[in-house]
Amino acid sequence: MTILSATSSSPPLSSLERWQIRFFTIWGTQALSQIGSSVVQFALVWWITQTVGSATALAIASMMGLLPQVLLGPFAGALVDRWNRKRVMLAADTISMMCVMVLAYLFATGQAQIWHAYGLMFIRSCCGAFQGNALHASTALLVPETHLARIAGLNQMLQGGLGILTPIIAALLLVWLPLQGILMIDVITALPALTALAIFIIPQPVRDTSDQPATNNLLQDMREGLTYVLGWRGLLHIVLMAMLINFLLTPTGALMPLLVTRHFGGQVADLAKLESALGLFVIIGGLVLGAWGGFKHPKHGRIITSMLGLVGLAAGVLLIGLAPASAFWMAMVGIAIVGFMQVMCNGPMGAIFQATIPNHMQGRVGSLVGSVCMLMAPISLAVSGPLSDLIGIQVWYIAGGIACIVLAASAVLSPAVMNIEAGREAAS
């Protein structure tokens, strides 16, 4: 379940003590629920790996989690702005919890099949698309504006901690408990979150009285964002690169459990080590980038930092793909490089977008870029699963790493990309 995120306007400061009790009760119970959900996700992926043992099966599992986000994500935000957010969150959490209970029963009675796990992942992702948007949008109505930055930082710390601890917790529970027991942990951790949502009032925003349908508004925004991107060659190059990178690298995460078992002959503890190392070095990368800020070149500092980060990310992926079966430590080093360098790649690029795209266009451009990049993930999974079963998993890592280096070189050789920090007007 998604944790509350910081955005804009706020309730009055006169109710400071009351907002703290309300917000941190909701936030804390949602954090607990997210731990349970993340543990279940890890456990189900490992069960699929052990039961089926094919790249196609893991690719389908990842697609079940991604497709609802792709199909519903752009519309869910507009809809929750018009619906009662508290009811949306309660309904989404309740449906998700009931589905977990059904799957736990199927495992307990020996009736569980692979498609049951796929179905749970799909339904939970559908619920998450609405619940996540409702929680995100509600934060600014629950937290005074002066505290929003602190809440955002708290969320980042939580996400980093979950990335490190969840795989370890899940690996231990898989040794101690049957899968139905792990599923019931998700139910137990969801109950406090549902109780908090039921007890506390979630403020509603002032409704838009416009008669124009939400879908029309959304499509108009996406058209304007597309026109803006197409009119700026440097930004268009970056967006196309991001789409290709998503296509190339999404399967490297989805196929990781099978790489551990099939190539390295490892167990669930080895997968937990890789995922925890990734989370740890994402945090380290964030701390380093926050203190350093990237290269200080007056015209190209951020784009140089980002492209070197992409090359480093590609090197880490290549190292994982080239690691011999007897050298699991090489994969550990590679995943650490990936975690560190993805921050160096994504952080400066996000800063470029914020600095060069006008404020009134950032939402539209961001929505467009997010949608088209996310769309590449299920496509790549549909291709990579069967292909990896035919030619081997490591080939995808090697090809993806080499291709990302080529993409970084194409960006460095493009004046439109290297001058992107000057803005759209300078490029026209």
Residues 135-190: pLDDT tens digits?
766 776 777 766 665 666 566 667 777 888 888 888 899 889 899 999 999 999 99
- pLDDT for 13: 46
Are the CB atoms for 55 and 63 separated by under 8 Å? Answer: no
Look at the alpha carbons of 318, 323, 327, 328 in this order and tell me if their dihedral is positive or negative. Answer: positive
Residues 3-19: pLDDT tens digits?
444 444 444 444 446 77
Identify the structural domains of the chain with CATH numbers, from first to last.
Answer: 13-199 (1.20.1250.20), 214-423 (1.20.1250.20)
Residues 55-76: pLDDT tens digits?
888 888 888 888 887 777 667 7
- pLDDT for 209: 53
Are the CB atoms for 364 and 222 separated by under 8 Å? Answer: yes
Residues 67-105: pLDDT tens digits?
887 777 667 766 776 788 888 889 988 999 999 999 999
Q: What is the mean pLDDT of residues 360-382?
A: 80
User: Lowest mean pLDDT: which of 172-186, 295-309, 355-369?
Assistant: 355-369
